[in-house]
Amino acid sequence: MKVLVLNAGSSSQKTCLYYIPDDDRSEYVITELWSGSIDWSKQDGLADLKVESNGIVLEETANNEDRLTVIKQLFHYLCNGDTAVLETWQEIDFVGHRVVHGGREYQQPTWINEEVKSAIAQLASLAPSHNPVNLQGIELMEQLLPDTPQVAVFDTAFHSQIPPEAAIYPLPYRFYEDGIRRYGFHGISHQYCAEKVAKLLKQPLERLKLITCHLGNGASLAAIKNGHSIDTSMGFTPLEGLMMGTRCGSIDPGIVIHLLREQELTPEQVDKLLNKESGLKGISGISGDMRRITKEMEKGDDRAQLAFDTYVHHLVKGIASMFASLGRVDALVFTAGVGENSAVLRQAVCEKLEFLGIELDSKKNENSPRDEQIATIESSTRIFVIHTDEDSAIAQAVSQLAQGSSKTKPSS
């Protein structure tokens, strides 16, 4: 079967087409036929497109901010030109979407119908940068491929079994009943990495206790036991927890009251401040990109150094608290842009975790590891660097759902 995956971010869109043999249920037997991405973040009013297939890389800049127009421009290259891998759109059997917020109700990959769409729309207030663009992608695909079944794979689902004491906020109980609780995010990535580590360790995931550190532009931790997340650092929204590229992570909520009351900022200004102007960018005054921070740090920039040290400080505290949630930890896993690529960050974090018996093999750490172990033999906990692949995990989830049920599109 051919599965098209749409993974929409606030200022990005990734799309991949996969081929999965119909009769093969073994995990990750999956071939990427075509990938495309759009990045609206680099230049105002412009979108950078990139398509990779048939050994060809095509790059162009679209002079258009309208999201759907640019996505259609990207899709043109699925069936046209040197990067084409399809003769017609109708060859696509299923479409899978990463949907960031599934609330309490959606805990499994789900066929998309009118009810699911309206739930995604209703949850937009909890994930305003993501759920609306996820829905736009779903509606676009309905226009382009009206008869092709679509599946939503939710980023919150992997965390749905977090026990109440980790999910509830210490507010009056009625807020918990109203849905103000820890949901957690990056679930598709945390789950993918956990399954990959179990494979590499040749042990059933159900017997492992893992801490996964997804460190990208957004960053979160998950404590994983019996194949489920039992605690995670992001909460009601993706703003809680670790310090991130431009997001502050956890801060004293009294600061928000102070900003609103004493500095008379509007809710929109506070939102922008905490989501877009804080984290590495806020402290350094330079950038939210860890590559820039480490570069400036090496040149002796004090604020870049402070931003890096603060990032490490919060990360170490977060990992230690996940240790407390699990008791014993078989493996610590680094993934996503920063986790996979920054040896200096991994070194700084693991040095501070030595009191827990964690010991990094510096040589392995510096040797661009990918899907590899980087702990010494003596280390009490294995350390892995895993290349996360949310899109193939979504395609896999779609294939499993499709093979387990009728291929006809479920009714609304």
| Interface residue list for ligand ADP (CB under 6 A) | 9, 216-218, 245, 289-291, 336-338, 341-342
Q: Is 7 annotated for ligand binding?
A: yes
- From the CB of 277, what's the least distance to ligand ADP, in Å? 15
Residues contacting 97, CB < 8 A, separation 6+: 5, 6, 7, 8, 112, 134, 137, 138, 141, 150, 151, 152, 153, 394
Q: Which of 241, 194, 196, 186 is nearest to 216 (CA)?
A: 186
Task: Tell me whether residue 390 is annotated as binding.
Answer: yes
CB of 274 or CB of 336, closer to ligand ADP: 336
Q: How far is the CB of 59 from ligand ADP (least distance, A)?
A: 17
**Nearest-CA neighbor of 222 among 109, 155, 154, 319?**
319
Q: Say whether 289 counts as a known binding-site residue.
A: yes
Report the residue closest to ligand ADP, judged by CB: 337
Give helix then strand counts, H and E, for the chain. Answer: 15, 14
Pick the closer one to ligand ADP by CB: 242 or 402: 242
Compare residues 102 and 216 and give the one whose CB is closer to ligand ADP: 216
- 155: annotated active-site residue: yes
* For ligand ADP, the closer CB: 269 or 287: 287
Tokens of 207: 């017997």
> Please, what is the minimum distance in Å from the beta carbon of residue 177 to ligand ADP?
32
131: Cβ–Cβ under 8 A, 6 or more apart, which residues?
A: 99, 100, 101, 120, 121, 123, 124
Cβ 333 vs Cβ 197: under 8 Å: yes
Contact criterion met (CB below 8 Å) for 214 and 241: no
The reply to whether 338 sits in an annotated binding site is: yes
Q: Which of 22, 24, 155, 178 is catalytic?
A: 155
Q: In the numeric block, which tokens belong to residue 109?
A: 């990959």
> Is 187 labelled a binding residue?
no
> What are the tokens at 132?
């609306």
State the binding site.
7, 14, 98, 214-218, 289-291, 337-341, 390
Question: Could you tell me which residues are annotated as the binding site for substrate?
Answer: 98
Q: Which residues are catalytic?
A: 155
